[in-house]
Structure formats: structure tokens, C-alpha cells
Amino acid sequence: MSEANGILIVGELIDARLSSVTSELLNAGGQLAASLGQPLYAVLLGTNLQNAAQEAMSNGASKVFLAEHPLLNEEQVEAHVTALQQVAEQVQPSILLIGRTQLGRELGPRLAFRLRVGLAQDAVALTVEPGTQRLLVTRPVYGGNALAVVTMKRKPQIVTVRPKVFEAATNDKTTEGELVRVAVEIPNSVVRSRVVERVAQETAGVKMEEARVVGGGGRGLGGPAPFAELEKLAKLLGGAVGASRPACDAGWIDPRFQIGLTGKTITPELYIAVAISGACQHMAGCSGAKVIVAVNHDTEAEIFKQARYGVVGDWRKIVPAFTEAIRELVS
């Protein structure tokens, strides 16, 4: 068997375009490729992949593998794993990067299992160890209470990478990339669960993950109604509303607004944490915010150790006053 070579990025598409996470992986992978002196590759799965392949090349991929199959247009994990296994066995990369998205979180473990290799989940930093050329992966463990640096014994070294940790690649590369079609076989027997319906719950206003300002509510709000108060504030600032896991678990707000280790990662200019204690699981999803301000009744709340400005008191009084003061400032 030839020596494993190259960094392979598993691309994800949104409306036939590269997802932002894919672009971030191409940037991260490009840096690893440069320090290892290895090529940067991407693999795209689905149909009608031409435009996205061009995007991947302008983002730095020197070779783009196309696994074309209609089943790969669905978020069907087994079909994706089967296809990726075949691509990985043909390409034999030394490193394989997957976004830690809903699909990626499922692909990583299954692919590692099939290829009989290890896996590092939820990377927040990637470096190459001088000398050994091993990949060193930094990942949060124990609910964000600790950071571990791990290595993997076999190749490919598979890593799922947390979204929004790396900048997106710039699309200015002039690489004359090569397109390689890989004939993937996906037997029908592989697909044992099917998506029978997709229900989209549209959100009015700005998307939380892209908002410049996010107002987050936690357990201390005590119910669903107070989120309307946060909504008012967020709207005034052109922002969006989010929540901690306890608030979502209690059913006060839909889980798609959950910020944290299990939920989404946000990187706004301003995060307003209201009645949120600041457990590390939550902070893992919002520590990329430029400025955090917090309102909590508990002087000892962990959130005050992380906020630029904190007010101890009753959110019922503070948030409406804050909203009023903002209204005056912006008018």
C-alpha cells in the first residue's frame, strides 16, 4: 500500500453551493497542507456538483473528487458513509476533515469505524507536530471543563471540526484544479432508514448563527413568555434570540435556538446573556462572541467571570430598562 498522502476535506452543500463550514475546512486544511507539504483535496457528494467543485478549487483544493449519486442528495448517513469509505480507500489521504455539523457528527464515527481508524471529534485547533508530522488535535472534553490534545495512531487521521472556529478560505486561489469522478456503489440494502418528511420551521428575522447581536435566555427566565421580552430587545438591535440547554429542554423555546456544546455555535459582536448561569457547556457555544454582557440575580454566577459587563439583579426590571435605554440611543 502506498503512503497515505493529502488532506481530504468532506464538503457539504447548501442549495448546490459550498456550506460555510466547508469553506472553513478548506482554510484549515490548506494550512495543514502547507506545513506538511501535501496536497489539499475535497470530496463532494450528491448530484449537480460542478459549481460547488469550482468553488472548492477557488478555495484552494487542487483536486476535487465527485461522488455522484442521487441518494447522496438526502441527509442519509449510511449512504454517505458507504460512499466516503470508497472515496477514502481510493484517495488514501493522511488526514480527513469533516465539519461537526448535524450530518458530520454522524459521519465521523461511522467512517472511522469502517476504515478501522481513530477519530477526534469537535476540534477547536489543529497543528502538525514537528518531527513526527503527526496531527495534534485540541478538543474540549468533560463538558468544556478541560481541553485535551489528542493524536490518532492510524491513517487517515479523521477529525470533525467545530464550525466557526476557523475563518472561511478566501476564494482567490487560481489553482487549475482537477475534477475526478469516483464511481461509488451504494447498494439498496445499505439504506435502512429513510427520511419520509422534512419539516422546516421558518424563523422570522435574522438567523441566530449569523446575527450581529444575540440575546440568550436561560433557566432563570422561568417560562416561555419572557422570551418575548428578549425578542423586543434583539429586534431593536437587529439581532436574534437564543437560549441555553435548560431553557430548550424545558420546552420554553425550540431546540434549534440552543447555544452551546450540544447546540449551535455563535460568534456575534455582542452576546447578551440573561438569566444564564454560564456553565461551560453553554460558554462553548458563545465564547467566540466579541463582547458578552450578562444579567443574573446570582452574584456568584459563572457568567460574570466571562462577561465584559455584568449586572446583578432581577432581569424583569433590568431587561425592560435596558431595552428602553437602547431605544433612546438608537433613535
Q: Shortest Cβ distance from residue 308 to other proteins (Å)?
A: 4
Q: Shortest Cβ distance from residue 64 to other proteins (Å)?
A: 24
Q: Which residues of 144-169 are buried (b: 16+ CB within 10 A; e: fewer)?
A: beeeeebebeebbbbbbbbbbbbebb
Q: How many CB atoms lie within 10 A of CB 281?
A: 19
Cβ distance to other proteins smaller for residue 92 or 171? 92
Q: Shortest Cβ distance from residue 51 to other proteins (Å)?
A: 21
For residue 330, which amino acid is it? Answer: V
Cβ distance to other proteins smaller for residue 68 or 75? 75
Q: Which residues of 71-108 are buried (b: 16+ CB within 10 A; e: fewer)?
A: bbeeebbbbbbbbbbbbbeebebbbbbbbbbebbebbb
Count of residues in the chain: 331
Closest-CA residue to 133 (of 40, 10, 37): 37
Cβ distance to other proteins smaller for residue 181 or 317? 317
Furthest C-alpha separation in the chain: 69
Q: Shortest Cβ distance from residue 297 to other proteins (Å)?
A: 9
Q: Shortest Cβ distance from residue 138 to other proteins (Å)?
A: 9
Contacting residues for 19 by C-beta, under 8 A, at least 6 apart: 11, 12, 13, 99, 101
Cβ distance to other proteins smaller for residue 34 or 141? 141
Q: Shortest Cβ distance from residue 57 to other proteins (Å)?
A: 26
Cβ distance to other proteins smaller for residue 29 or 156? 156
Cell reading at 71: 441518494
Cell reading at 265: 455555535
Distance between CA atoms of residues 266 and 193, nearest Å: 31
Distance between CA atoms of residues 28 and 13, nearest Å: 18
Q: Are 101 and 12 in contact (CB under 8 A)?
A: yes
Q: Shortest Cβ distance from residue 248 to other proteins (Å)?
A: 6
